[in-house]
Amino acid sequence: MMRLVLPLVALTSLLLGGCPPPDEGPFGEDFLWGTASAAWQVEGDYDPDPDDAFDVRSNWTVWTERGCVTDGQTNDVGSGFYERYDDDFALASGIGSNAYRLTIDWTRVEPEDDNWNDAEIAHYVDVLEAARAEGLEPMITLWHWVVPTWVQNPTEQDGFDALVMDPGPDSFFVAEFEEFVRYVAPSIAPYADLYSILNEPFSVISGGYLNGECGGGAFPPGRPLPDLDQAKAVTLNLLFAHGYACAALRELDDVDVDGDDVGALCGQAMSTPLMRPLIAGDADDIAGAEQLDWVVNRATVAALVDGNVDIDLDRAFTTTMSDDPDLPIDEGFYPQLAGTLDWLGINYYGPMRVDGLPGSSIGGLPILDVADYNPSLPHSTLGFAIEAEGFGELLDSFAVYGLPIYITENGLGDDNDDDRAMYLVEHLDELAGAAERGADVRGYFHWSLTDNFEWAHGFDQRFGLFRVDFDDPALPRIRQDSVDAYEEVIGTGGVTDASRERWVRERYASDTRP
Ligand code: FCB
């Protein structure tokens, strides 16, 4: 797959009229420099009004109570954002950023089916107003993995799970998610145009249905795994959830906030690792990397751009699994999905290495082994390989779609902020390179402004530009040196030689190679 990329990029840049004139720099004047967050990671289970009739318990609350997060951690208030969003927005605008990605949390708004908590909508409106008052353009996520317990309740292995039920356009999950989006859209429309409707469906598919049951990085619902049928069911439900939510937003949000005559721009923050073969030149590994690149990085785009759904993941849109009586819906073209991506959201943390295992398969799919950790590269505290060049390569491979691109997440788990500044500068340098080669890059959202609850790993993983002292009940924010690096790049509108000299060292502190 990657071998096809460069010629296509060159072609795209020719069609787009080549590189921007040199005096404009790689990023346009309206470029969004932001930071990204997710509601439950920064708000936790904080209940603003414990005496009201509404509960804030979600699938992730239950998951933490089951002890499925490292050391049995629970998430009472996240980083305290629910109460101190004003202070955090002041920090964000203080470093010169002009955008902020956040979630409107379904659980808070509709804690029980059809029982709406309008006080929470009013709260989110306050948050959005506060963001704009600080000069931050909000990007809104509507599903960042957390759902009310009436949608998914992972109390036990066979707990209720609408995500896998009746997969397809007519499922309960799709209808209920659309209803939530329709309910909130009119209130939030005046504040934002950019919707990263769903965040990383693939992480939930793999973390919840393919890779582990409880603990060790697993996500809810914690079923006996792997379950490929359920993984496919979730995939389909999330595709249609995106499509129908996009239609609802386009219908209900006609408030043009950013002056381009459009009220709602549908996007998705996708998990997009660069897939490399474990051994360069090994035919099975190359085939495995190409297959996984399709499954993780391309199949969603094919569905949401062209409307073509590849259920058996064979890179064609007519099924070859004629022996599978359980295919939930027909493979092929779905008009309700076509054209529902106005822009692409790239979440890039690093490359993955794919070990293609010849001859074995589950349900017609080859078995692949994927390693995040690569002993020949430096790595984050979560074990992700660090490789900025991979970012540039990945962006080239997404530029071929000709759609605007936002980096919806990029960041580093780094306990002591040893490597974050260099990581930032190197990745922004690659971003600039991709823009110069023709990628239509419109914004960069660093993950994250502050430390927060890192899902299955809890508070142990620190991604914040501002460190949070979780031992102090006041949850003070402590500015890290890497903030200087981001502030500098934002200030100059790109990476300069001076920034490179200041921040890029010979090697990362985490680089343990000899
Ligand atoms: C991404 C998630 C985000 C955060 C980062 C570190 O996969 O979307 O919420 O946890 O990883």
DSSP codes of every residue in 187-211: HHGGG-SEEEEEE-HHHHHHHHHTS
String of DSSP letters for 374-440? -TTS-B-TT-PBP-HHHHHHHHHHHHTT---EEEEE-----TTSSSHHHHHHHHHHHHHHHHHTT--
Amino acid code (one letter) for 231: A
Q: Which of 179, 173, 237, 177 is nearest to 205 (CA)?
A: 237
Round to whole Å and give the CA distance between 309 and 321.
14
Nearest-atom index, ligand 1, CA of 203: 7
Closest C-alpha residue for ligand 1 atom 9? 38
Long-range Cβ contacts of 303-306 (<8 Å, 24+ apart): 303/239, 303/334, 303/337, 304/239, 304/242, 304/243, 304/268, 304/337, 304/338, 304/340, 304/341, 305/338, 305/339, 305/341, 305/401, 305/403, 306/333, 306/338
Residue 127 CA, ligand 1 centroid: distance in Å:
21
> How many other C-beta atoms lie within 10 A of the C-beta of residue 18?
11
Round to whole Å and give the CA distance between 49 and 33.
34
Residue 306 CA, ligand 1 centroid: distance in Å:
27
Out of 296, 447, 453, mutate this one to test ligand 1's pocket (max ligand atoms within 8 Å of CB): namely 447
Half-sphere exposure of 100 (CA within 13 A, CB side): 30
Q: Which helix (H) or strand (E) holds 347?
A: strand 343-347
Out of 81, 198, 347, mutate this one to test ligand 1's pocket (max ligand atoms within 8 Å of CB): namely 347
Closest C-alpha residue for ligand 1 atom 10? 454
Predicted structure pTM score: 0.94
* Whether the bond into 221 is cis, omega within 30 of 0: yes
Nearest-atom index, ligand 1, CA of 41: 9
Displacement of CA 141 from its chain's centroid (Å) = 9
Residue 208 CA, ligand 1 centroid: distance in Å:
14
Round to whole Å and give the CA distance between 46 and 40.
9
Burial of 346 (0-12, 13-18, 19+ CB in 10 A): buried
3-state secondary structure of 15: helix
Residue 465 CA, ligand 1 centroid: distance in Å:
15
Amino acid code (one letter) for 50: P
Where does ligand 1 bind, in terms of residues with CB under 6 Å?
A: 38, 41, 199-200, 203, 271, 347, 409, 447, 454-455, 463
Nearest-atom index, ligand 1, CA of 38: 9
Amino acid code (one letter) for 151: V
Burial of 125 (0-12, 13-18, 19+ CB in 10 A): middle
**Helix, strand, coil % over all residues of the chain, rounded to 5:** 40, 15, 45
Tell me the two tokens of residue 284. 């099975």
**Full 3-state SS string of 130-151:** HHHHCCCEEEEEEECCCCECCC
Tell me the two tokens of residue 289. 């990397």
Q: 88, 464 in Cβ contact below 8 A?
A: no
Provide the residue-wise pLDDT of the chain in tens; the chain has 514 residues.
Answer: 222 222 222 223 323 334 444 445 789 889 999 999 999 999 999 999 999 999 999 999 999 999 999 999 999 999 999 999 999 999 999 999 999 999 999 999 999 999 999 999 999 999 999 999 999 999 999 999 999 999 999 998 778 999 999 999 999 999 999 999 999 999 999 999 999 999 999 999 989 998 778 998 999 998 877 788 899 999 999 999 999 999 999 999 999 999 999 999 999 999 999 999 988 999 988 988 998 899 999 999 999 999 999 988 889 998 876 556 667 788 999 999 999 999 999 999 999 988 887 765 555 555 566 766 677 889 888 888 899 999 999 999 999 999 999 999 999 999 999 999 999 999 999 999 999 999 999 999 999 999 999 999 999 999 999 999 999 999 999 999 999 999 999 999 999 999 999 999 999 998 888 7
